[in-house]
Amino acid sequence: MKFNTKLVLGIESTAHTWSVGIMDFNGKVMSVVNDTFIPDKGGLHPYLVKEQHLNNFKRVIRQALRDANCKMCDIDLIAFSKSPGLGPILKIGAQVARMLGQLLNIPIIGVNHCIAHIEIGRLMCNIEDPLTLYVSGGNTIVSAYESNKYQIFGETLDISIGNMIDMFARDIGLSHPGGPKIEKLAHQSKRYVQLPYVVKGMDLSFSGLYTAAKKLIDSKTYEISDVAYSLQETAFAMLTEVTERALAHTEKDEVLLTGGVAANKRLQEMIAYISKEHNAKFEVVPLKYAGDNGIMIAWTGILRYISEGRPNLLNTMIDPKERMDTLTIPWRK
């Protein structure tokens, strides 16, 4: 089969999910296949995640090629997540990308995972210049484009919102991922119990809130659903406050909600409310593309490749701690 435009294969490998997405250079999705590590107990152990990705990477690539009805030799560009994330896991994506690039003699391009979450949102929701709230198992970031970069207006100072909810869920005996189960549980209550609300300047801290909620559970003075409800209300109100202040400051007229936690209806409701107050259009990234996926990496790879061309090999080194606000965004000039 002949394709009338070029194809990119995107590899997501920053944490729990190994995902491969194939897309054409016009932004048409051809396929996306995920394999996600789910811990039996505790959090993400890098060694166990790495083993799972190593055992599954080939199957996932093959399935993505089959679903896209193409062969490896039809691919023109490989994009992979080079930052930020867990070092041993980023390395697998980078190594697979390098091997494929060399075997096929095609360029490879490294992509910042956080920027990819925003770019796929702009594409899928057909919006131009949003203020973005990115909430996931690894990140909690409020950002917007300014002065040729995705500036960070607010972020967590300790754990991410998704991680905090997952830890609380584990403490009350719920399996991973805890987010959807806590959302359900919170629905059973309307009794708000005071919990620490920690916004420092434009940044957030969730560890005190987590500890206080855990203490309430241990004290057995409230129903579990009351604590789940109060935890959600407090954490989401903190996120909403910071997002609203960034919106007032940047005067953007679009708000984008993305990351795995974007699935939460109560959070959507709160962010929709402040967006309306500021006359901004509110969009949630379709859930298939809001969590970690290879398509967001593929698309951001295309954008950078078209504007900067083939990178030199040094630019394809992984960088577990790279901040999105250090990178220029040439395709948005």
User: Which residue in the set 121, 130, 260, 301 belongs to the binding site for ligand AMP (CB under 6 A)?
Assistant: 260
316 lies in the site for Mg ion, by CB under 5 A: no
Q: Is 34 helix (H, G, I), strand (E, B) or coil?
A: strand
Residue nearest to ligand AMP (CB): 260
Helix or strand holding residue 260 (H, E): none
Contacts 24+ apart (CB under 8 A), 51-58: 52/18, 53/13, 53/18, 53/89, 53/92, 54/92, 56/18, 57/18, 57/92, 57/96
Q: Closest Cα to residue 288, out of 23, 62, 21, 97?
A: 21
Q: Is 4 helix (H, G, I), strand (E, B) or coil?
A: coil
Which residue, 96 or 165, has its beta carbon nearer to ligand AMP? 165
Residue with tokens 């402040």: 274
Stretch that binds ligand AMP, among 78-86, 142-150, 179-187, 312-320 (CB under 6 A): 179-187
**What minimum distance in Å lies between the beta carbon of 135 and ligand AMP?**
8
Helix or strand holding residue 235 (H, E): helix 224-250
39 lies in the site for ligand AMP, by CB under 6 A: no
Size of the site for ligand AMP (CB under 6 A): 18
Stretch that binds Mg ion, among 21-29, 39-47, 52-60, 291-299 (CB under 5 A): 291-299
Binds 250, which of ligand AMP, Mg ion, none (CB < 5 to 8 A, cut-off by type)?
none
Helix axis angle for 207-219 and 161-171, nearest 10°, is: 20
**What minimum distance in Å lies between the beta carbon of 25 and ligand AMP?**
26
Asked if 158 contacts 196 with a C-beta cutoff of 8 angstroms, the reply is: no
Structure tokens at 252: 């953007």
Q: State which amino acid sits at residue 212.
A: A
Please give, one letter per residue, the 3-state secondary structure of 96-143: HHHHHHHHHCCCEEEEEHHHHHHHHHHHHCCCCCCEEEEECCCCEEEE
136 lies in the site for Mg ion, by CB under 5 A: yes
Residue 285, number of CB atoms within 10 A of its CB = 24
Site string for Mg ion, 242-281 (x = CB under 5 A): ----------------------------------------
Which residue, 92 or 284, has its beta carbon nearer to ligand AMP? 284
Which residue, 130 or 137, has its beta carbon nearer to ligand AMP? 137
**What minimum distance in Å lies between the beta carbon of 139 and ligand AMP?**
8
Residue 51, number of CB atoms within 10 A of its CB = 12
**What minimum distance in Å lies between the beta carbon of 188 and ligand AMP?**
15
Q: Closest Cα to residue 42, out of 16, 14, 13?
A: 16
163 lies in the site for Mg ion, by CB under 5 A: no
- For residue 174, the 8-state DSSP code is P
Which residue, 32 or 228, has its beta carbon nearer to Mg ion? 32
Site string for ligand AMP, 93-132 (x = CB under 6 A): ----------------------------------------
**What minimum distance in Å lies between the beta carbon of 107 and ligand AMP?**
28
Which residue, 24 or 233, has its beta carbon nearer to ligand AMP? 233
Which residue, 108 or 133, has its beta carbon nearer to ligand AMP? 133
Binding stretches for ligand AMP (CB under 6 A):
136-138, 162, 165-166, 177-180, 183, 259-261, 263-264, 291-292
Binding stretches for Mg ion (CB under 5 A):
136, 292
